[in-house]
């Protein structure tokens, strides 16, 4: 399992924020299904797009670095582990955000790079930002 320093975590968050992988400006492809979610506490909003096989994921969004980078990394992890594991990923990820001390080693391994958000609960205003992507995936 990879361990990240606080500085490494900041670098990864900013890299995903400034160099999007799945984030696009707009979606003109009608083959995609979509789910929309807007935060009730800030300007973060997302429209998640996915194909019939739930293997191709893209999103249009605006918001803070925590929200956008967590969305990027969550989608990256879904692609790695397969959509059939989304419920387990959601459960463990939400546990990480809300109760990070309760996360055990095999759960940390399962989260992959998402583990960098383990301290987000120290900033209560950022918990919602980090959890938006799991809320959207619950709608699918």
pLDDT class of 28 with cuts at 50, 70, 90: confident
Do 96 and 103 contact (CB within 8 A), yes or no?
yes
The answer to the question of residue 1 being in a domain is no
Q: What is the pLDDT of residues 41-76, one digit of tens each?
A: 889 999 999 999 999 999 999 999 999 999 999 999
**Who contacts 73 (Cβ-Cβ below 8 Å, separation ≥6)?**
12, 16, 112, 113, 114, 116
The answer to the question of residue 123 being in a domain is yes
Report how far residue 119's alpha carbon sits from residue 66's, in angstroms, rounded to the nearest whole number: 12
For residue 23, what are its two tokens? Answer: 């984030």
State the total domains in the chain.
1
The answer to the question of residue 105 being in a domain is yes
| DSSP designation for 39 | -
The answer to the question of residue 59 being in a domain is yes
Rg (CA), the chain: 14
The answer to the question of residue 67 being in a domain is yes
The pTM of this model reads 0.94
Mode of pairing for the β-strands spanning 33-38 and 57-62: unpaired
What is the CATH number for 17?
A: 3.90.1010.10
Report how far residue 7's alpha carbon sits from residue 40's, in angstroms, rounded to the nearest whole number: 30
Question: In terms of residue numbers, what domain contains 69?
Answer: 6-138
pLDDT value at residue 44? 95
pLDDT value at residue 1? 62
């Amino acid at each position: 399992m990879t361990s990240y320093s606080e500085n490494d975590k900041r670098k990864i968050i900013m890299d995903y924020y400034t160099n999007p992988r799945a984030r696009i400006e707009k979606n003109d492809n009608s083959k995609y299904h979509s789910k929309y979610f807007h935060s009730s506490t800030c300007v973060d909003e997302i429209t998640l797009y996915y194909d019939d096989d739930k293997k191709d994921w893209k999103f249009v969004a605006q918001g803070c670095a925590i929200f956008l980078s967590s969305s990027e990394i969550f989608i990256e992890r879904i692609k790695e582990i397969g959509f059939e594991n989304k419920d387990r990923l959601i459960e463990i990820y939400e546990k990480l955000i809300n109760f990070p001390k309760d996360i055990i080693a095999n759960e940390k391994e399962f989260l992959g790079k998402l583990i960098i958000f383990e301290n987000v609960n120290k900033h209560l205003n950022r918990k919602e930002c980090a959890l938006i992507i799991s809320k959207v995936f619950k709608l699918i």
